[in-house]
Amino acid sequence: MVSSNASDELVQLRAELAIVRAQALVAEAEAAKVWAINADLRARNAHLELMNEQMRREKYGARSERSRRLLDQLELTFEELEANASEAELLGQIAAAKTTTVQAFTRTRSTRRDFPADLPREQVVIPAPDLCPCCGSDDLSQLPAAVTETLERVPARHKVIQTVREKVSCRQCEKISQPPAPFHVTPRGMFGPHFLANLAFQKYGLHQPLNSQRDRLEAEGIPLSLSTLADQIGAICVAVKPLFLLLEAHGLAADRLHADDTTVPLLAKLKTSVARIWDYVRDDRPFGGTAPPVALCYYSSDRRGEHPRAHLAGYAGILQVDRYAGFNALFEEGRTDKPMTRANCWVHARREFFKLVDIRQQLKRRKKGATPLVSPLASEALEIIDRLFAIERDINGKPAAERLAVRRELSAPIVAELETWMRETRSKLSRHDAVAKAIAYLQNDWDGFTTFLADGRICLSNNAAERELRSVARGRKAWLFVGSDRGGQRAAMMFSLFGTARLNDVDPLAWFTDVLARIADIPQSRLHELLPWHWKAAQQQLTQEIAA
């Protein structure tokens, strides 16, 4: 039996805990408000700098290519800061809603312009109630309806959808009734889900910057400012963040992950610095796994090893990587209850030998007067390694147990042959010889290269991760650089969403349109239905039902 003193102490502790929690929420809301204000000020400052440069260009007539590039650079900076400010404002409102004392910061925006009158209109009428919801009377009088115009994108043309909410007044109790406004993907309801999905997909899926999209829309007769488009990008990223967290949970629950990174230029004062996009791919299909594939991307401003350690905190499965030293700490004892298993990429090892027989690359990079050479020792190593890859092609997609059995029977003797060849060959070469360096790449972590002989789930290459980063590398030529760290984080999240859709053979634009149309109305317990593989199954089932 609990004494009265102990009961009183328990009540007091609960009350103190509630006070501390409330204070923490207030502090979080205040911090979010300050962040939103600062983000808004930075966006305003970037806008003023852009306007100043535009006016200078008009006044002094600068028309050089360098001047045009400077304007493009300022526009991209403003685009990122405007999206930052919009995202910070919405997150601040979410934090302030959890308190009763903090008032959320609301940005001051320019007066909303009407859409061009020559755009076709489509009315969606939400009828008023037949009975007064207050007293139940049917004696209602019609009042002027409230009309909200939302710009939506349809294939090859634009239209403005007018949502007319009828309004009635009760003659008996004088109560005015009107249906609630429909959900809009982003605040103020200016744009429909297909327009917004296309805006985001063009930017992050097809790597078309917002200033290029703005110019295209203006050519089609839709004058929209860069700030308006950037504002929508920030709001979209806030809306889909819960879906990314579900993808993240699914990806990090894998037994095996592929990991890689690539460079992205980051805009900085007077120059660009080198930032990174990291990706972690779950793809169980090579060993007959049924779990849907996922691509997770993260951004960092540098390449320090602390970043992959943070991304994979608590993960203890198989990690397929290259020989980058920043991954080494992930495989140390004591990091978690069970350290990760390292599986090195044989494609990287093969590449070191291939450089020594690739005449075309040698001709491109040779010094003046130098003659390209084909190393017979490198060719010999390539022949042995290629036999391993030939075996892997035959067992791709087979169950892990079957793959392991084939490797023990066929691959293990080849690996032993390669190990003997490397030991004997390296003993005859100078340590500065190119072939000796290629051999050292393998021998310095031989255990990591031979892990595939003990586990049928492991792949021989890390190509799954490299393929996902290929689109980022292609996109760099279009968007040149990310404008800020927040912009890099947004880009990484959107690369994850669109990359996962492609991995699951889902049309990214169609899927993302439906996500934006449904994500605010769907309960948290059903949010998983919007994941690409569940969405694809639902669409296939719907198609079958219609066909039947």
Q: What is the 3-state secondary structure (H, E, C) of 197-213?
A: HHHHHHHHHCCCCHHHH
The number of folded domains in the chain is 4
How far is 280 from 326, CA to CA, in rounded Å? 15
Domain contains 534: no
Q: pLDDT digit string (tens) for 269-292? A: 667 788 899 999 999 999 999 999
Is the pLDDT at 462 greater than 80? The verdict is yes
For residue 290, the model assigns a pLDDT of 92
Same domain, 498 and 446: no
Calculate what percentage of the chain has a pLDDT beyond 70. 92
Reply yes or no on whether the pLDDT at 298 is more than 90. Answer: yes
Record the pTM.
0.80
User: Given this model, what pLDDT does residue 64 score?
Assistant: 47
Neighbouring C-beta atoms of residue 54, cutoff 10 Å: 13
Asked whether residue 155 falls in the same domain as residue 201, the answer is no
- Has residue 330 been placed in a domain? no
In terms of average pLDDT, the best of 57-61, 65-69, 363-367, 462-466 is: 462-466
pLDDT band at 364 (very low <50, low <70, confident <90, very high): low
pLDDT band for position 365 (cuts 50, 70, 90): low
Number of alpha helices (DSSP H) and beta strands (DSSP E) in the chain: 17, 9
320: helix, coil or strand? Answer: strand
The answer to whether residue 65 scores a pLDDT higher than 50 is no
Q: Tell whether the model's pLDDT for residue 66 goes beyond 60.
A: no
**Mean pLDDT over residues 25-48, rounded?**
87
Last residue of a domain, one of 416, 437, 461: 461
537 vs 361, residue with greater confidence:
537
R_g of the chain computed on alpha carbons: 30
Structure tokens at 532: 């690409």
Q: What pLDDT shows up at residue 155?
A: 65
> Is the pLDDT score of 252 beyond 90?
yes
Residue 339 lies in a domain: no
Domain match, 117 and 23 both: no
Task: State whether 34 and 125 are in the same domain.
Answer: no
pLDDT tens figures, 412-423: 999 999 999 999
Mean pLDDT of the chain: 87
Query: Can you give the residue range of the structural domain that contains 211?
Result: 190-322+463-515
Q: How far is CA 125 from CA 46, 118, 148, 183, in A?
A: 41, 21, 11, 14
Find residue 176's DSSP bridge partners: 169
Q: Is residue 164 part of a domain?
A: yes
Model pLDDT, residue 108: 80
Q: Is 540 part of any domain?
A: no
1-10, 34-43, 413-422, 428-437: least confidently modelled range: 1-10
